[in-house]
Structure 1
């Protein structure tokens, strides 16, 4: 087959794949667009345009910011601030600890390193929800219930983040650390001055993993933080549905607020995040 014939056969296939990809993306986006439109409607108007199908399902006839102003001026605004604070501390502290652990597993040769790494890999294969209830009981005994410390501690060390960083560190030539050590640089200096600057994509990917784990957590905050002043966003959002009724306008607005933050971060750091996942190969 000649080159022009090959190009002629691959072009329709590429167009078909692109069209299918766009259709799938639109199908995933439709519920989000309906939620976004519903957040600018009153509760009584949300379901008036659902049937029959018409453009007003996604474009409200009248816009209102009442849902957002009511949420942000009440307890939900405090819960969003708590989520931002807890997640930010988790990412900063957790990223440092995970990077240090990954560096030790990748560069420091010590007895039992393989076993330690196997335990870390096993840890992120076990769902956190399976141990959340007994762990919450321990935290209450330690006096960490209804505290920021209790919310942050389980999220600062993530097995998958350590795995991603270790695999990336293994791809950095050993000659760099050996030369630095010969020049008198300590292991901390090698880590901080050489490996951290070279690992921006992996650090962003690991940080995003920590962020998603903490930002979207529901069961753990529900078990450990029931006081309104330390309640996180997902719990406050679920509390908008009560036995007296469901305020769909407020729920849609709250869901939009909790979705915007990870969406913006993913758009900004998407290239680095995908690069970090691509680097997690089968390095020994």
Structure 2
């Protein structure tokens, strides 16, 4: 990675996302760019004063980051006086990853609360890490929902950069159909349908293609992806869910992003990466 952008409104949650991004940047020798993610209507007199305050916040964050990771980590920022749309900043900074938190600061409601994070998850042109955990705690177990296509293949190397210590579980979720339920004997049956047998074999081939260990756990399942993901998170203490493929948000409604079960790493859709 060359550049990682961390978006914050200077709330506690936002600044924790900055520190998570700094940890990734320090490990990958990347540059960290901090983006001020709240915009307010101010008079010219207020704007000048507010820009100075924001610059002070940036200086404090930069000092905190470099105190923890050393002065070799380059930290830049987009301050309030130069506020731009996040996608413009991503393009201008040639970012490889965007890290955000569950922003709750009142001044950020119009720009980075709720629906804005959902919008990012749906069409961000670079991988998006929604970080909700303590940035000092490394990821230990990741669950990667894949579609076995090229988008999922390229995502695995990014996942390794974001969570190098994490054990990876691969999951492929297919829609539940009446035909498959009849073949399996119902939604709770343990006998695997031909469709799931084929998916399991495809997952094993995918695991080998991307160079994962043969002991990597694979899950071929059907049904509601939200329910299956939450079940895995709860039962195995998963701390990073990875959504990849040509339609990473397929089957996941916006409430999943509003209240994620753990950190989310969402990869861009094929459509989002196509040139305009």
TM (norm. structure 2) is: 0.22
Largest Rg, 1 or 2: 1
Indicate the structure whose relative CO is greater, using CA pairs within 8 Å and at least 6 residues apart.
Answer: 1
Instruction: Identify the structure with the greater strand proportion.
Output: 2
Q: Which has the higher helix share?
A: 1
TM-score (norm 1): 0.22
